[in-house]
Amino acid sequence: MSDIDTSWQPRHHPADKAAFVMAATGESVSFGALEARANQGAHLLRATGIEAGAHIAILMENRREMLEVCFAADRAGVYYTTISTHLGPEEIAYILGDCDAQLLITSARFAGLIPKLRADFAEICAVRVVGAGLNGLPSWDQALADQPTTPIPDESQGLDMLYSSGTTGRPKGIKWPLEPAPLGTRTMLVDLLTGLFGYGPDTLYLSTAPLYHAAPLRHSMVTIKSGGTAVIMGRFDAEEALRLIEEHRITHSQWVPTMFVRLLKLPQAVREKYDLSSMQMAVHAAAPCPLEVKHEMLAWWGDIIHEYYAGTENNGFTAITSREWRVHPGSVGRAKLGVIHICGETGEELPVGQEGEIFFENGHQFAYHKDPEKTRRATNEKGWTTLGDIGRVDPEGYLYLTDRKSFMIISGGVNVYPQETEDTLLNHPAVLDAAVIGIPHEDFGEAVHAVVQLVPNIEASDGLREILFEFCRTKLSSIKCPRSIEFRGSLPRTETGKLHKRLLREEYLAPR
């Protein structure tokens, strides 16, 4: 926690101004309404026995109540964990138990899971459902209506404890210390985001992804707390995003590279149909962006595109502007939090320009909840921490990502990072999405295998497969080219753009 800023809360902004809008339903929640409901929520948490420092969990789709519950927890001094809506019962039960949640607040869409959770797993925490009660579960809204709209007497600053996406293994909670602090205490992350991206009272922010994920949740809440208005999409649709930018005169927005790909695959007439002139800043992160995709987006939107590299852990943070990126294409920027070090397999620091594992020194300290071994593996003997990504730094301190260490393919004794192959495939006009993995091979140990999703109305065929093989051969060294390509209707990608490569690889490993 850092400085206290008591004006940095909904109650200090114009009561009739929209704090956020749910794009799918058109619901608009004013700062006055958000203040009242957040206060009622904080009272209800206390009435339910949730004291400062305790933990709640939230499982619901992007809807009005989700942000209201987060703001209630934020002023009740509790940890709140948002759970991915794509998880199954076993994974949900694991997170509820792992984070020690005393209360789960969910929606009717997921209330049907609760009887199964209670039947198949150890007794889970108390549950409330937003809206009317369902399946014998008490209603959050009905209990809320009986609570005062004034602040609770013991307000204190709460904090999220979010879980990793689990693309390479079981998700782990990323826990920062929650010290008793007055409501309005600005965190390191708030100072960083407002300083870099200029969120403030004039911001009109478009959130394109699920709020259970770190970036959409945190950027939306920072926008609202700073007096701006967040427009929350129910689910991402490329043309709908453009329409919302025009309708709401969006100034700031957040994207991931797969969204850029889908935007660029829209017909030219659709792309030119909407007025995007209000946009001042489009921020993207979550995965490396293919060079050609970034060039095409810059040609379309101009120098308003900002990129950053960070994880939910926020152990370090880099950022780069459009103008910097044109000079350093492919970079994710220079360090804005922490000091970058590139280390070899034995832990030695590597010279400028050499690829290795990315570590940050003097970044934000964190721990993986109830997993000291994973925390230890992410920390070297000097106290530097890593997310397991591979990259290099140029002489001016700009970082370039290669891929995740866990995604590396070892083929014939040669290390192959699949990101470059994926980027190449995405540049073909017939390809909407691509994943490259290593699959077992008798001679080479692993072989480079591509899983490809085609754009609508393009049919898979052996002829197209040969065209993609040749396309890769003209742009990549032979070791990086796929030895096999399969076509699928979709890839196991999270709504925040991360590939569940673990799921793909398990398909090939399971028979063995």
Q: Of 289 and 142, which is predicted with more confidence?
A: 142
- CATH number assigned to the domain comprising residue 148: 3.40.50.12780
Which tens digit of pLDDT belongs to each residue from 51-90?
Answer: 999 999 999 999 999 999 999 999 999 999 999 898 888 8
The answer, yes or no, to whether residue 463 has pLDDT greater than 60, is yes
The answer, yes or no, to whether residue 226 has pLDDT greater than 60, is yes
Asked whether residue 23 is domain-assigned, the answer is no
On whether both 365 and 417 belong to a single domain, the answer is no
453 CB burial (10 A radius; 0-12, 13-18, 19+)? middle
On whether both 121 and 242 belong to a single domain, the answer is no
Q: Which amino acid is at 317?
A: F
Q: Of 108 and 504, which is predicted with more confidence?
A: 108
On whether both 351 and 491 belong to a single domain, the answer is no
On whether both 264 and 298 belong to a single domain, the answer is no
Looking at the DSSP assignment, which residues form a beta bridge with residue 156? 76
Per-residue confidence at 510, pLDDT binned at 50, 70, 90? low
On whether both 355 and 394 belong to a single domain, the answer is yes
Asked whether residue 212 is domain-assigned, the answer is yes
The answer, yes or no, to whether residue 37 has pLDDT greater than 70, is yes
Q: Which amino acid is at 289?
A: C
Q: Which amino acid is at 452?
A: V
Average pLDDT over residues 485-510: 80
**pLDDT at residue number 172:** 85
Q: What is the mean pLDDT of the chain?
A: 89
**pLDDT at residue number 260:** 93
On whether both 41 and 178 belong to a single domain, the answer is yes
**pLDDT at residue number 169:** 59
On whether both 56 and 131 belong to a single domain, the answer is yes
Say how many domains are in the chain. 4
DSSP structure class, residue 480: G
Per-residue confidence at 493, pLDDT binned at 50, 70, 90? confident
On whether both 71 and 175 belong to a single domain, the answer is yes
The answer, yes or no, to whether residue 360 has pLDDT greater than 90, is yes
On whether both 242 and 277 belong to a single domain, the answer is yes
On whether both 149 and 234 belong to a single domain, the answer is no
Report the C-alpha dihedral over residues 69, 73, 76, 77, rounded to 10 degrees.
-170
**pLDDT at residue number 164:** 78
Give me the percent of the chain exceeding a pLDDT of 70: 94
Window from 53-62, 87-96, 152-161, 502-511 with minimum mean pLDDT: 502-511
Which tens digit of pLDDT belongs to each residue from 168-185?
Answer: 557 789 988 888 888 877
Asked whether residue 16 is domain-assigned, the answer is no
Q: What is the pTM of this model?
A: 0.82
**pLDDT at residue number 6:** 52
Window from 86-90, 228-232, 258-262 with minimum mean pLDDT: 86-90
The answer, yes or no, to whether residue 165 has pLDDT greater than 70, is no
Distance (Å, whole) CA 126 – CA 65: 18
**pLDDT at residue number 400:** 94
User: 182, 208, 233 — which closes off a domain?
Assistant: 182
Phi, psi of 64 (to 5 degrees): -55, -50
**pLDDT at residue number 388:** 85
Which alpha helices (H) appear in 249-345, and where do they start and end? 257-264, 268-271, 291-301, 322-327
Asked whether residue 25 is domain-assigned, the answer is no
On whether both 69 and 165 belong to a single domain, the answer is yes
- CATH number assigned to the domain comprising residue 396: 2.30.38.10
The answer, yes or no, to whether residue 404 has pLDDT greater than 80, is no
The answer, yes or no, to whether residue 39 has pLDDT greater than 60, is yes
Per-residue confidence at 1, pLDDT binned at 50, 70, 90? very low
Per-residue confidence at 133, pLDDT binned at 50, 70, 90? low
User: 351, 385, 405 — which closes off a domain?
Assistant: 405
**pLDDT at residue number 412:** 64
- Domain containing residue 494: 408-509
The answer, yes or no, to whether residue 279 has pLDDT greater than 80, is yes
Asked whether residue 371 is domain-assigned, the answer is yes
Asked whether residue 124 is domain-assigned, the answer is yes
- CATH number assigned to the domain comprising residue 236: 3.40.50.980
Tally Cβ neighbours within 10 Å of residue 345: 8
Asked whether residue 83 is domain-assigned, the answer is yes
**Which among 177, 161, 181 has a CA at the least distance from the CA of 82?**
161
SS (H, E, C) 232-268: ECCCCCHHHHHHHHHHHCCCEEEECHHHHHHHHCCCH
Average pLDDT over residues 141-166: 92
**pLDDT at residue number 323:** 97
The answer, yes or no, to whether residue 429 has pLDDT greater than 50, is yes
The answer, yes or no, to whether residue 303 has pLDDT greater than 60, is yes
On whether both 240 and 374 belong to a single domain, the answer is no
**pLDDT at residue number 512:** 44
User: 363, 382, 405 — which closes off a domain?
Assistant: 405
**pLDDT at residue number 345:** 84
Asked whether residue 4 is domain-assigned, the answer is no
The answer, yes or no, to whether residue 245 has pLDDT greater than 70, is yes
444 CB burial (10 A radius; 0-12, 13-18, 19+)? middle
**pLDDT at residue number 187:** 73
User: What is the chain's length?
Assistant: 512
Give me the percent of the chain exceeding a pLDDT of 90: 63
82 CB burial (10 A radius; 0-12, 13-18, 19+)? buried
Average pLDDT over residues 152-157: 95
Q: Of 300 and 315, which is predicted with more confidence?
A: 300
The answer, yes or no, to whether residue 11 has pLDDT greater than 60, is yes
Per-residue confidence at 13, pLDDT binned at 50, 70, 90? very high
